[in-house]
Amino acid sequence: MTRTAECRCRQCRVEVRGEPALVAVCHCGNCKRRTGSAFGVSVYYPDDAVIALHGSTNQYRIDNERTYQHRHFCTRCGTTLYWRVAAFPGMLGVAGGCFTGAALPVPTHTLSDEQRCAWLADVVEGGDVPAAVECQGGNDERCRDAPAAVA
């Protein structure tokens, strides 16, 4: 099986073969800022499973108390697509949300759990989080209680 991950504008792609060696959910501040979300999904493949890297990327270095990494992002749209972490030599990390096609395996690891957003447990376990409303704006009755920015 081959999988492809691509940036938002599709200028950059990563093609890999086989199943990933590791799929993890990371709650660290760096991954939150990278994704603009409550966590990042990191998918690691051994270098010999990487078929090709396409497109023009720039990179930046992230240092933390345990290791460092070089993150590669698209020069056109800015999507961080892949990275290399010193703690995982011989592996390429790919942004889980950038994969197209076949579903990824369920994550087997979590990282930086001490930085996890407390409300995630409610979302995952089906707590008191209201269901999303698809409102069409205007006089749509479903938007009656939605904040003005949503409606």
Q: pLDDT of 18-30, one tens digit each?
A: 999 999 888 877 7
Whether 41 and 26 map to the same domain: the answer is yes
Give the pLDDT confidence of 45-104 residue by residue, as tens digits: 999 999 999 999 999 998 877 788 899 999 999 999 999 999 889 999 999 999 998 888
In the prediction, which pLDDT does 32 show? 78
Domain tally for the chain?
2
Q: Are residues 91 and 130 in the same domain?
A: no
Tell me which residue range forms the domain holding 131.
118-151
Averaged confidence pLDDT in the chain = 82
Calculate what percentage of the chain has a pLDDT beyond 70: 80
DSSP element (H, E) containing 35: helix 29-35
The mean-pLDDT minimum among 10-14, 39-43, 93-97, 131-135 falls in 131-135
Q: Indicate whether 45 and 67 sit together in one domain.
A: yes
Are 27 and 100 found together in one domain? yes
| 3-class secondary-structure state, position 97 | helix
Nearest to 25 by CA among 108, 87, 143, 124: 108
Q: What is the CATH number of the domain that holds 75?
A: 3.90.1590.10
Residues 23 and 69 in one domain: yes
- 19 plus 71 within the same structural domain: yes
Q: Is the pLDDT of residue 149 over 50?
A: no
Domain shared by 58 and 131, yes or no: no
